[in-house]
């Protein structure tokens, strides 16, 4: 299993670290973009919130892990959150949302 940083809005001091199957590492940036493209079609409450009375789609680490496990890790090792709200680890690839 490989570890990657998840960073939102360039906040490198508030990163999440997830573990993913090794074979996903080379394409994780492209997979992350596919996730962002998919979110507007989501019909699951895990992928949106209400802000000022309007439904807004959100890309959060737990949602990404859930989506990754559903679409990319069905018959293999599952992705999971290692730690949340931590500093970025320079040893790991970084996925920015």
pLDDT in tens, 36-65: 999 888 877 777 777 777 767 777 899 999
pLDDT, position 94: 95
Residue 89, domain extent: 2-96
Count of the separate structural domains present in the chain = 1
pLDDT, position 57: 74
Helix ranges (DSSP H) in the chain: 28-38, 61-71
CB contact set of 53 (below 8 Å; sequence gap of 6+): none
State whether residue 47 is helix, strand or coil.
Answer: helix
pLDDT at 10 over 90: no
Tens digits of per-residue pLDDT, 63-80?
A: 999 999 999 997 879 999
63: left (phi over 0), alpha (psi -120 to 50) or beta: alpha
pTM over 0.95: no
pLDDT, position 74: 78
């Amino acid at each position: 299993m490989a570890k990657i940083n998840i960073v939102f809005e360039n906040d490198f001091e508030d990163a999440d670290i997830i573990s993913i199957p090794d074979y996903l590492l080379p394409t994780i940036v492209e997979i992350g973009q596919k996730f962002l493209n998919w979110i507007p079609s989501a019909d699951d409450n895990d992928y949106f919130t209400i802000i000022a009375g309007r439904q807004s789609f959100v890309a959060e680490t737990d949602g990404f892990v859930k989506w990754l496990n559903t679409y990319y890790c069905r018959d293999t090792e599952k992705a999971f959150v290692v730690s949340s709200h931590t500093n970025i680890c320079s040893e790991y690839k970084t996925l920015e949302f």
